[in-house]
Chain A
């Protein structure tokens, strides 16, 4: 019981700190140029970023939410950074997380390279489209779309089901030709399960949409990848989660380059965020071994919803 109390305190602290930050955020310097001397010491914002992303990393792990889906909504909603730079940083943050998890997931054969490659081709190509679109459209349009998407993600997180080992009666022609199937070992029973997928082309079509969204908003797309792989295409949950994480490394690579080449990467923002989230995730995993409070997921989804409303308000201008 006291563990739940501690976690709720962490969550409330996050809420509180973000509200304080949004106070800073209202000093919008969008019309000021380099003539205006910085009102804060140069290191204040990076340190704040480090702290907030650290909490974000912990919350992401405890709340069962991807770090990549928290970054852009929360940072763009409550901080004075322009959405262009937030998305650039967000992609790199999500990418780094996926790159860190990749080797382990591949070596343990939890992530399926065969499943990932065709999907990645679609997702990464359309992530490029999304990124270019996202940088070409006026900011308030992207902001509004981002807000709506975030609210949709919240709904998805609240309602989505999971299927440990979906029933796939027969592999469809495409996945048979591509030989996308595998064997995985259920940890608790030691039972070895053959898996295959179906509805491959429907899945690939959905990945077009997922790719565009990932590129346009700089969000890690795990919240979308897993349901498509697991519920639509029928891959076991374990395989879907791992392949999804691995997939992110490819999708976000293509989008990140577009943002980088457009100049949307500012090291002073990216590096503290990256380090913060990774450190937070590391701590989160250790905390998870001690207790998993159900409260954190609600708090996190609540924060996301709040960020979505903020983005909508920014985009629609009220």
Chain B
């Protein structure tokens, strides 16, 4: 019964995730994410691992997550970023074009270098902030309530004040779906 199942029974342990701190840069965190996400077997990326980076602060508390969209927007702002980033990029192009200094190939040539440069950004500044937490002894119903109240889809799970894992809306879905499967 969902009211009796404890969070610790359905949570995902922290070790399954790519974990980084707020002060880490994307160039440090992304390879980690790739490793977890790919969980490579025989050199092929299985794409079966988790798709987000969990971000911890200096005290080891979960403060945010970083997903593909946030990473792409940070690495390629002129394409994937918000309207302000694209406007800024347009302004830069205009300035160089009007000075007869814009090389058409530059956009292509510079791509790798720009991605590397943009990867210096600290993940603390691009993460989606996650509020709230739950104890591992709490029930699934309590977790559901928190997730909807805080409007998040991932909830950090603490045991004796220590972060041990996360519980996601998908985990809670599976519990509830089982009822319909009966």
Contact = CB atoms under 8 A, between A and B. Distances in A.
Contacts of A10: none
Interface stretch (B36-44, B107-115, B125-133, B152-160): B107-115
A185 B89 contact: no
Given A187-B109, A190-B116, A110 B92 contact: yes
A189 interface: yes
B94 A241 contact: no
Given A97-B94, A241-B95, A187 B101 contact: no
Q: In this complex, which of B90, B97, B117 has the most chain A Cβ atoms within 10 angstroms of its Cβ? A: B97
B59 interface: no
Contacts of B176: none
Interface residues on A, range: 35 or more
Interface residues of B, number: 26
A88 B117 CA distance: 41
Contact of B94 (A244, A281, A292): A281
The interface residues of chain A, by DSSP majority, are classed as helix
Contacts of A282: 90, 94
Interface of A: 60-67, 97, 100-105, 107-108, 110, 162, 185-190, 222, 226, 237-238, 241-242, 244-245, 281-282, 284-285, 288-289, 292, 297
12 contacts: A61-B97, A64-B101, A65-B100, A100-B94, A101-B91, A162-B101, A185-B113, A185-B117, A188-B106, A226-B99, A288-B104, A289-B107
Given A104-B91, A285-B93, 16 more contacts: A66-B98, A66-B99, A100-B91, A102-B91, A103-B88, A104-B88, A105-B92, A162-B101, A187-B110, A187-B113, A190-B112, A190-B113, A241-B99, A281-B94, A285-B90, A285-B94
